[in-house]
Amino acid sequence: MGETESNILDRFTLKDIKELADQLGVAGLAGSIRRYTASTYQQFIDTLYSDLNSIVSTLQENPELRKDDGEDRLTLEILSILRGMGYAAGHETKIGGHTDLSVRGKNNYLWIGEAKIHGSYDYLFQGFQQLCTRYTTGDTNQDCGALIIYIKNKNCAAVVKEWRERITAQGLTNLSISDCEDRPDFVFHTTHTHERSGTPFNVKHIGISLYFNPQDKGKAPIT
Amino acid sequence: MKLDHALATIAEDIRPSENQKVFACLAEYVFAHKKDIKHLTYSSIAQVIGTQRPEMLLQVAQYLSGERVKLLEMKFELIIDDNIIPLDDETVYHAEITGSLIHPDTGYPVKDYDRYIYPYFIPSREIENG
């Protein structure tokens, strides 16, 4: 390490880190400061969801690589990136059962994600129920989770819209639904009374578009 | 967190595998010098792990400061004209979210605040004798 490089690193500021994060494309670096300094559960969740947004973008960029992947394989990819960012993320961690994705933070913070490849809306509801009635406690610092929906069929927005209507019709206690500002056609939020805790439980429903059916290579037209 | 557990976690998480020794090198250094380390800069970390690649330096620091292994704790100082003021996590988080940092002493916003915040690292409280 040359002396000049050493001097530069001695004066490494937050601005330098952010600029390098942009230039180098290191996963999660831009959000790392918020991750280190989050000091409430809501800040932990907000930062996690911001990082998950980035991960979803990464997954969606190459659907051709993932067209044969099952739920576990896709979830393991999310897990791997979260761990690289420094998250205490787990897969198949035993919390009431074997959770697809869990993230722990300080002060007993816990977030659980249940992942499903969309096949039917009953299957998605089964995942929602696993999340809300099997895995989560609904306790303080543990009242947020997500249903991660891998959508390999076309028209991802229609799937999410239909799912939103279906969940509304399930008769959940004190259900409220709100839009997601970042990805309004593919993500929404629900809050309902958690059966076990009796307190509000917040679920983010995240649609991930993995449809791949390129139509640029076909038979030559008949002339 | 004990050293052998940290090293096993690094072996599980870090790919490609040839990068693992860089992460392990810093982990071993932190455990060996945990009582002496008071202010570990990025420059010091770069010398310990012997890298000239900023992306590797930042990745190693990010991973070892995260909750997954939690060997390091990231701290922040506001340094303007040789005046050094420690900043707590809540202040830095708020600045990152709002884009504005209020100077703790003057009460006025610091223009381009992120040019004046310097991160450094200390061993985390989770390190046990390993």
Asked whether the beta carbons of residue A14 and residue B119 sit closer than 8 angstroms, the reply is: yes
Q: Which residues of A touch B112 (CB under 8 A)?
A: 15
A197-217 per-position pLDDT tens digit? 999 999 999 999 999 888 887
Check residue A147 and give its pLDDT.
98
Rounded to two decimals, the pTM is 0.90
A38:B46 CB<8 A? no
pLDDT one digit per residue (tens) for chain A, 223 residues: 344 444 566 678 999 888 888 888 777 887 889 999 999 999 999 999 999 999 999 999 999 999 899 999 999 999 999 999 999 999 987 777 789 999 999 889 999 999 999 999 999 999 999 999 999 999 999 999 999 999 999 999 999 999 999 999 999 999 999 999 999 999 999 999 999 999 999 999 999 999 988 888 765 665 5
Taking contacts as CB-CB distances below 8 angstroms, the residues of chain B near A5 are 46, 52
* Residue span of the structural domain in which B64 resides: 3-74+120-129
Tokens 């290191």 — which residue? A26
| CA-to-CA separations, A184 to A187, A204, B98, in angstroms, rounded | 6, 12, 23
Residue A220 falls within a domain, yes or no? no
In A, which residues are within 8 Å of B13 by CB distance?
A: 80, 83-84
Please tell me whether residues B61 and B13 are part of one structural domain: yes
Count of domains forming chain B: 2
Which of B13, B67, B93 faces A39 most closely, judged by CB atoms? B93
Residue A160 lies in a domain: yes
Task: Indicate which CATH number applies to the domain containing B9.
Answer: 1.10.10
CB B80 within 8 A of CB B110: yes
Cβ distance B13 to A84 less than 8 Å, yes or no, reads yes
What does the pLDDT look like over A71-115, one tens digit per residue? 999 999 999 999 999 999 999 877 777 899 999 998 899 999 999
With respect to residue A105, please indicate whether it lies within any of the assigned structural domains.
yes
> Is the CB of B111 inside 8 Å of chain A's CB atoms?
no
Burial (0-12, 13-18, 19+ Cβ within 10 Å), A46:
middle
**pLDDT for residue B130 is more than 50:** no
What's the token pair of residue A198?
């009796």
Q: Determine the 3-state secondary structure of A13 from DSSP.
A: coil
Q: How many CA atoms lie within 13 A of A54 on its CB side?
A: 16
Q: Quick one: residue A138, left, alpha or beta (phi over 0 = left, psi -120 to 50 = alpha)?
A: left
Longest dimension (CA), chain A: 70
User: Is A183 domain-assigned?
Assistant: yes
Same domain, B68 and B84: no
Which residue type does A174 have?
N
Domain co-membership, B60 together with B106: no
- Total structural domains within chain A: 1
Q: Does B82 touch chain A (CB under 8 A)?
A: no
Q: Which domain holds residue A50?
A: 40-209
